Structure 1
Amino acid sequence: MTSPLLTRHGAVAGLGPDAGVPWHYGDPTAEQRALEQGRAVADQSHLGVVTVTGPDRLTWLDSLCTQQVAGLAPGESAELMILSPQGRIEHVAGLVDDGATAWLLTESAPALATFLDRMRFMLRVEVHDATEDWAAIGEAVSRPAADGEPVTWVDPWPGVTAGGTSYAADPTALATTVRPWRLVLVPRASLGAEIEARLESGWTLAGTWATEALRIAAHRPRAAFDVDDHSLPHELDWLRTAVHLHKGCYRGQETVAKVHNVGRPPRRLTMLHLDGSGHSLPEPGATVLGRDDAEVGRVTSVARHHELGPIALAILKRSVDPSTELTVPTDGGPVAAAQELIVNADGFSADRPPKPGPTMKGLLMGKGCAADGGDLPG
C-alpha cells in the first residue's frame, strides 16, 4: 500500500521493508532531531495489523506465544513472538487489547494471520488481517492512550519486562537512552487527516530514515531487518521485552529455556560505528570481515545518525573478540567498523542460573545441541 504522504513536497519513498512510506522529506537530520525531541510524527502505515476477537483471544494467544498475555488489561501493551519448534523467530508483534479486540502490529501480517487461523481449533476466537482498514502512526511518546483516544501500542524497549531478562554486555548502557515510541492505530482512510491534525498542532514530519537511525542507536532489533531463518531471541537481547521465562508451555520454549539456563547463543547482535570519512555505506546483508578478512557476520540494519554518524547493527559470531577491528565491503571500497557491544560476548544473561553440578550437567544438555553449538560453560 502507498501512503498519501508520498505526495507531499519533498517526500522521498522508502525502499525494501519501508517501501510505501516516506524515507525522508528533504532534511533527514532535522527530522531526526525533531523526532528525538518529541515533536514529530512518522508515517508507519506500511506495518501490518492483525486482529483477534472472541472471549478466548488472550488465553489462546498466551498458549501460542513467548509472552504472558492471558491477564493483559485493556490498553496495556506487550511484545510477543511466535517461534518455530526449534526456537527460531518466525513472527514478532506488538500487542494491545482494547477489552474486545486484541490488536497485533507486525511486519508479517499475512503469514501471521494464516498461522493463527490454523491454530484456532475449537476455541472461541476469530482472526482477521486488518491491514487494509487500519494504519499506524509513529510518535516519540511513551504515554498509553487515554480514555477516548485511539488504540495505541507503547514500545516497552529498552526496559526489561516482567519475566524477561537481558543479555546486555553493559546492563546500564540503555538506562540513559531515551527512545519513547508508540504506534497509534487510525482508520486507513483517515491517515492523512490524522497526520495533518498533528502538523497543525505544531509537529513536523519525520521519515523512516529518522525512525531507523534512532532505533539502531537504541540497540532496538527489528524483525524485517535483523531476523533471519536461524535467529534465536537471545542473540538479539530480545528476552528483554518479548519473552517471559516463567510462563506455561509454548512452541519453541524448550530451546529458549536450554539456551538461557545452560547454553549460549551461537551469535550476538552488536552495533557498528562505521568510518564516516567516505560517502559509502554498506547495504543490509553485507558481509562483516574480521582478522585476515575472515567472514565473521553480516550487517542487518544501517543508518546515518545525526550525532553518531554512520551506524549499523550486525549479527556476529559470538566468538569474535569485541576489540577486533572489523571491515565491511561497500561499492566505494571497504569501510572500517568498531564494535559497540550489545549482547554479551560470553553469551550469559543477567540472571543466568548457577551452573549445574557434575551429575546434572550431562542430563541437561550434551554436546551438539543446535541451540548452543554443543558448547557448555565451564
Structure 2
Amino acid sequence: MDAGVPAHYGNPLAEQRPLASGDRIVDLSHRAVLSISGDDRLSWIDSLTSQSVKRLAPGESSETLLLDPTGHVEYAVRLLDDGTELWLLIEAAEAPGLLDWLTKMRFMLRVDPRDRTSEFATVGTFGSADLAAAAPNGVPLVWHDPWSSVAVGGHQYATAADHDYSEWTYSEILVDRASLGSIELPAAGLLALEALRIAAWRPRFATEADEKSIPHELDWLRSAVHLSKGCYRGQETVAKVHNLGHPPRRLVMLHLDGSDAVLPSPGDEVVLGENVVGRVTSVGLHYELGPIALAVIKRSADPTAELAVRSQGILVPAAQEIVVPPSAGAEADVPRLPRLGAVQR
C-alpha cells in the first residue's frame, strides 16, 4: 500500500513534532494523480459523487466520495480545480479502476479524464511555504485538507469537546515529478504522518474503508458529503441512514497499553470480553499520546467499556475514545406512528 516511499529517516517519533509544526515534508510520490479537463468537468463530478463541487473556485480544495448504488464507499478523492483542469489525488491502487469508470461515464459531455501520475508527484506538509507547487495552468496545485472544519452541507457526528480539529492543518502539494529529487527541504517519513492522522481521527480510504463501509461510520459526512445537493449514486442510503437509521459500525480511536511492548497491526481483532466487536484499521506511535490506533467496531459495543486488541497472542488493553457515537444518525425528528389496533391512552 505504501511501498516505495520512506517510512522514516531514523526516528519516526522525533520526526512528528517538526512535521506537525510545518518544518518538514513527507514524500507521497507513490500516490496517484488524475486530471479532468473540459467545460463540463465540475458539473459532471458533482452529478456522480457525494460532494457539491459544481461551483468549486480555482484554487479551492474539496473532498468527495464515489459510492456504489447501495451507498458503500468505492473511492475517496481529494479535489482541486485550477480553472482549467480538475485535479484528483487518490491512492495509487484505486487510480486505474477510477479512471476506467470515469472514462466509461463520459457519454457526450465535454470532459477528458487522464492519468497524470508520471508528470506530477504528491508531497505532504503542514505548512512548508518554501516548496514551489506545480502550476501548469497558472494556479498552484496545493490541496488543503477540509477536515479541519465541517464543510458546507456536511455533518459531524463526533461530539468530543476536547478534540481540536483546527490543529489539523494538513495540505498536499503537487510538484513536477522530474524535480522531486532536487527538493532539499527536511523530510519526515510516512510513519510520522500516519501517527498525526490517527490522532486527528482523520479516515483514510486505504486503511479505514472496506467493502462494507458507508460514510457515516467514519464521520466522513464531515468533509466529503453534501447532504442537500442533488441526486447521485448512493444518495438514498446516505439520506436514510443519516435521517432515520444508524450506521451499523462506528470509528473509534484506541489508546493502547504499551506495557507488554506489543504494538498491534491493522487487521487485528478488537474484543470486548469474549466477543470480537471490530478490527484495527491503523496503528501509530504518537510523540505525545504514545501507542494509538483507529478501529472500526460494532455500533452495539458498549461505548464506556475498555476494549482489548488481540495481537501476537496477547490481549492489549485499549481505552476507546469515541469518534462516531452509537447514537449517530436518526437526525430527522419523525414521530412514531401508532401500531394498528394499539389502544391509545
**Counterpart for residue 18 of structure 1:** 2
- Secondary structure at 1:343's aligned position in 2? coil
TM-superposed deviation, 1:150: 2.9
TM-superposed deviation, 1:333: 1.8
Q: Report which stretch shifted further, 150-159 or 301-310.
A: 150-159
Distance 2:153 2:165 in 1: 22
Identity of aligned residues (%): 54
**Amino acid in the other structure paired with 1:66:** S
**Counterpart for residue 12 of structure 1:** none
TM-superposed deviation, 1:347: 2.1
Distance 1:115 1:295 in 2: 36
Asked whether the 8 Å contact 1:280–1:332 carries over to 2, the reply is: no
- The 5-angstrom pairing of residues 208-287 of structure 1 reads 208-287=190-269
Question: Unaligned stretches of 5+ in structure 2?
Answer: 341-345
1:87 is the counterpart of 2:71: yes
CA gap 1:188/1:225 in 2 versus in 1, 3 angstroms = same
Q: How many residues align?
A: 334
Map Cα deviations across residues 153-191 of structure 1 (whole Å, 9 max, x no partner): 100113100000011132x34336512111110111111
Which of these residues, 263, 272, 278, is aligned with residue 297 of structure 1? 278
**Counterpart for residue 39 of structure 1:** 23
Distance 1:348 1:142 in 2: 38
Map Cα deviations across residues 213-272 of structure 1 (whole Å, 9 max, x no partner): 000000000000000000000000000000000100000000000000101000000000
Asked whether the 8 Å contact 1:21–1:45 carries over to 2, the reply is: yes
Distance 1:146 1:285 in 2: 37
**Counterpart for residue 153 of structure 1:** 143
Q: State the Cα RMSD in Å.
A: 2.1
Distance 1:209 1:35 in 2: 11
Asked whether the 8 Å contact 1:142–1:155 carries over to 2, the reply is: no
Which of these residues, 33, 36, 44, is aligned with residue 49 of structure 1? 33
- Secondary structure at 1:240's aligned position in 2? helix
Question: Unaligned stretches of 5+ in structure 1?
Answer: 1-16, 363-378
TM-superposed deviation, 1:96: 0.4
Asked whether the 8 Å contact 2:22–2:128 carries over to 1, the reply is: no
- Secondary structure at 2:101's aligned position in 1? helix
TM-superposed deviation, 1:355: 2.5
- Secondary structure at 1:24's aligned position in 2? coil
1:320 is the counterpart of 2:310: no
Asked whether the 8 Å contact 1:109–1:131 carries over to 2, the reply is: no
- Secondary structure at 1:192's aligned position in 2? helix
1:179 is the counterpart of 2:168: yes
Asked whether the 8 Å contact 1:43–1:138 carries over to 2, the reply is: yes
Which of these residues, 42, 63, 77, is aligned with residue 47 of structure 2? 63
- Secondary structure at 2:77's aligned position in 1? strand
CA gap 1:276/1:250 in 2 versus in 1, 3 angstroms = same
Asked whether the 8 Å contact 2:133–2:142 carries over to 1, the reply is: yes
Distance 2:69 2:134 in 1: 39
TM-superposed deviation, 1:146: 11
TM-superposed deviation, 1:36: 1.4
Asked whether the 8 Å contact 1:169–1:342 carries over to 2, the reply is: yes
Asked whether the 8 Å contact 1:177–1:218 carries over to 2, the reply is: no
1:343 is the counterpart of 2:324: yes
- TM-score computed with the length of structure 2 as normaliser: 0.92
TM-superposed deviation, 1:348: 3.1
- TM-score computed with the length of structure 1 as normaliser: 0.85
Which of these residues, 110, 118, 131, is aligned with residue 96 of structure 2? 110
**Counterpart for residue 334 of structure 2:** 355
